[in-house]
Amino acid sequence: MLKKNMLFTPGPTMVPPEVNLAEAAPMIHHRTPQFSQIFMDVTEGMKALFETKEADVFILASSGTGAMETSVVNLLSPGDKALFISVGKFGERWGELLKAYGCQGVELKAEYGRVISAKEVADALAKHPDAKALFTTQSETSTGVVSDIEGYAALTRKTGTLLVVDTVSSLGVHPLRFDAWGVDVAVTGSQKGCMLPPGLGFIAVAPRVWKAVEQSKLPKYYFSLPAMKKAIADKTTAYTPAITLIRAAKVALDMLMAEGLENVYARHAMLAEASRAGVKALGLKLFTKEGESNVLTAVEAPEGIKIDAVIKRMRDEFGITLTGGQGSMKGRIFRLGHMGYVNQFDILAALGALEKALSDAGYPVKPGSALAAAQEVFLKSKS
Ligand SMILES: Cc1ncc(COP(=O)(O)O)c(C=O)c1O
């Protein structure tokens, strides 16, 4: 088979050719007006993506986890209590970070495939009024759920607990109305909805958060927010920035802004609806029990089918890469990512490949059933 490589993974995601080309341009020096202009354009572009006018936004040379770590080490002091919501592997990472830095993490846990309601958060905030922060994940990439950040923010705004949101897989997919909802800190990475390769982290910090930053006593050096704030006043970074990726980010952000943020969100909602309709038409069950995310579709592996072998074949023979489950979900689910540089016809290719691979593996498939269900969604859409 002629193999064409396409990524439907929950990150990294496909990168537009225009963005790849920007990475190929000859190197420039970062202490120049030329780079400062691009750096400030990208900072402003990221502010637009975070939907904030009031927050400071910083660009880090790290993956998303570096941005998560930046939030922890700049807000807290040793022994501080913080709540964290864990509905999958990435929520659990907040707990690991808190532990690594000697903070007292209080876990709000839901079984995989479910979310924590705003009511449960309200109860936890009432029970732990001394918690300095609430760490959460907008789209939990390991299970495919999206959390009610607006609902959580309505509560933390009242209690003054700092709300820190991991938007690594959701920024540019689901709206994150940073200013309007009253989020305190949001972090993300470049390799998902931002349509970039991995390697950049971003953090948005609301003005009211700086008081906590001043009081924080956890050790930090490379990820110091005060150092970043000082440097950006001179339109630069404290250390050598990832020049190539930042130039690529300018192109990707221009593309997102040209499409229009609300259209970008609507596209992802449509791709998710079509993907869910497609897998259901094959008789498969969604793993996500509530709060289905537009980032990816998490699906239970059909009985008697070795799903990891199906995924491997799709990747190695067809060039279509989906992913399996993480941790205890390995072998039990597969995940079809549809974030970033993805359109309707890409989804039809992915579902077509899935039909073929499942059928060859012995799963009964009515040819075209997933495709027809997805196409129904696309035909009724205006875009
Ligand atoms: C929701 C979420 N949080 C955090 C991360 C970690 O980001 P990174 O792998 O860029 O460090 C990921 C990446 O897969 C993610 O999807």
Tell me the average pLDDT across 8-21.
97
DSSP alpha helix (H) spans, the chain: 17-23, 33-49, 64-75, 89-100, 118-127, 149-159, 178-181, 210-215, 225-232, 243-259, 261-281, 307-313, 344-360, 369-380
Residues of the chain with pLDDT > 90: what percent?
99
Task: Report pLDDT for 232.
Answer: 97
Task: Report pLDDT for 1.
Answer: 86
382 pLDDT more than 90: no
324 pLDDT more than 90: yes
* CATH code at 17-258: 3.40.640.10
Over residues 265-296, the pLDDT tens digits come to 999 999 999 999 999 999 999 999 999 999 99
Cα(111) to centroid(ligand 1), Å: 19
Q: Which of 65, 142, 185 to mutate to test the pocket of ligand 1 (most atoms within 8 A of CB)?
A: 65
Cα(224) to centroid(ligand 1), Å: 20
User: From the CB of 65, is ligand 1 less than 6 Å away?
Assistant: yes
Tell me the average pLDDT across 331-338.
96
User: From the CB of 141, is ligand 1 less than 6 Å away?
Assistant: yes
Tell me the average pLDDT across 357-379.
98
Distance between CA 285 and CA 279 in Å, rounded?
8
Residues of the chain with pLDDT > 70: what percent?
100
* CATH code at 6-12+260-380: 3.90.1150.10
Residues 6+ apart with CB under 8 A from 181: 149, 150, 153, 154
Residue 116's closest CA among 81, 155, 78?
Answer: 155
User: From the CB of 63, is ligand 1 less than 6 Å away?
Assistant: yes
Task: Report pLDDT for 296.
Answer: 98
Tell me the average pLDDT across 346-370.
98
User: From the CB of 375, is ligand 1 less than 6 Å away?
Assistant: no
303 pLDDT more than 90: yes
**Token digits of residue 64:** 């998303």
Distance between CA 152 and CA 173 in Å, rounded?
19
Cα(169) to centroid(ligand 1), Å: 7
Residue 346's closest CA among 23, 22, 13?
Answer: 13
Over residues 220-266, the pLDDT tens digits come to 999 999 999 999 999 999 999 999 999 999 999 999 999 999 999 99
Residue 339's closest CA among 200, 176, 145, 192?
Answer: 192
State residue 336 phi and psi, 5-degree precision.
-105, 110
Q: Beta 56-60 vs 201-205: how paired, if at all? A: antiparallel
341 — pLDDT class (breaks 50, 70, 90):
very high
Over residues 42-69, the pLDDT tens digits come to 999 999 999 999 999 999 999 999 999 9
Half-sphere exposure of 274 (CA within 13 A, CB side): 29
Distance between CA 185 and CA 56 in Å, rounded?
10
Q: Which of 59, 84, 141 to mutate to test the pocket of ligand 1 (most atoms within 8 A of CB)?
A: 141
383 pLDDT more than 90: no
Task: Report pLDDT for 106.
Answer: 98
Map out the domains of the chain as residue ranges.
6-12+260-380, 17-258
